[in-house]
Structure 1
Amino acid sequence: MNTIHLMVGIQGSGKTTFSKKLSEELGIKIISTDEVRKQNPNIKEEMVWPLAYDMCANEIKNNKDVIFDATSITPKVRKRLYDNIKERTNNFQIGCYFFKVDVKVCKSRVAKRNNIEGEINLPLEVVEKFNNSLVFPTYDEPIVFIKVINELGNIVDETTKL
């Protein structure tokens, strides 16, 4: 069974940096909603997610694991990912990487990123809003493992569904 390695965290928490390291370590592709937007500058926002789901499902259909790099901060969003991939393919499981990083650190990182040419400018209030909505994943959701990542990008806790 193939695994979708799902990043869960607010903007600036280190999801993309961790995803790149995990991708190198496991030799698998990263599907990122931010990259979908960058590679398709004229895409309508409502088409970003279906395209990302298609790309993710194609990796599963090709018998490959994949990393899904998006905020995925609520059970509703994570269930939508599961349901949309399930509509396109099966024989997959989802494991979550939860980024437990102080919102002040995340806002500082986003502020620095906002000054980089070519990066999407994100208001810091959005980071705060996402932080207020962030929900830790549980095994009531369709996931098989949870790994907690700290602000240094290290796994500090790990559990597996029994």
Structure 2
Amino acid sequence: MIHMMIGIQGSGKTTFSKELAKEINAEIVSTDLVRMTNPGISEDLVWPYVYKKVAECVKNNIEVIFDATSITPKVRKRFIDNVEMHSVKCEIVAYFFDVHKDICVSRVEQRNKDNTQINIPIEVIYSYSERLVPPTLDEGFKCIKIVRDGKVVEVITNE
């Protein structure tokens, strides 16, 4: 099972992912983690590495959390298609982080003061916020979990 985080920077995806990983014994895969654990990796190798790693987890029946912004249906479809290219078909649960952009800006400003993390320009948050498209079941998700204040507050299913 893949657990896909969806939300802009500063919405709480990584914090939530860490808690969820402990709770369900899952592995977290993210482009940020790939970059941090493989210093000097060529940028054009980051995404193929992510797709392969996620597919390996699914093949080995390991729950996997994909921690990225995944803000549009096009980006989410590209992720699913690329994972499936590794001969893996799987169920995906979407977690949509419904957080106001001003809260995200405040969190990122705090995070940017910490030199151990990737610095994110504030204008990127506004740009991503404008392009954010909430997920729908039509995208093939098993269900969509709405997250506010670090908690799942609603679950949307076809059932």
Is the 8 Å Cα contact of residues 55 and 86 (structure 2) preserved in structure 1? yes
In structure 1, how many angstroms separate the alpha carbons of the residues matched to 2:6 and 2:49?
Answer: 19
- Letter of the 1:27 partner, please give it: N
Unaligned runs of 5+ in 1: none
Correspondence 1:36 to 2:37: no
Is the 8 Å Cα contact of residues 30 and 67 (structure 1) preserved in structure 2? yes
In structure 2, how many angstroms separate the alpha carbons of the residues matched to 1:141 and 1:149?
Answer: 18
Correspondence 1:159 to 2:156: yes
List per-residue Cα deviations over 1:84-142 (Å, max 9, x = no partner): 01100323111100000010000111111111122111100001100001000012212
Q: Normalising by structure 1, what TM-score?
A: 0.94
Instruction: Pick one of 72, 83, 86 that aligns with 1:85.
Output: 83
- Letter of the 1:123 partner, please give it: P
Is the 8 Å Cα contact of residues 82 and 142 (structure 1) preserved in structure 2? no
Question: Could you say which residue in structure 2 is the equivalent of 1:5?
Answer: 3
Task: Let me know the Cα RMSD of the aligned residues.
Answer: 1.0
Give the share of equivalent positions with the same residue, in percent.
50
Where does 1:138-149 land on structure 2 (aligned, <5 Å)?
138-149=136-147
Instruction: Pick one of 45, 48, 55 that aligns with 1:50.
Output: 48
Is the 8 Å Cα contact of residues 79 and 142 (structure 1) preserved in structure 2? no
Is the 8 Å Cα contact of residues 60 and 89 (structure 1) preserved in structure 2? no
Q: Which runs of 4+ in 1 moved over 6 A?
A: none
In structure 1, how many angstroms separate the alpha carbons of the residues matched to 2:116 and 2:51?
Answer: 25
Number of residue pairs matched? Answer: 159
Is the 8 Å Cα contact of residues 31 and 52 (structure 1) preserved in structure 2? yes
Deviation at 1:158, TM superposition (A): 0.6
SS class of match (1:116): coil
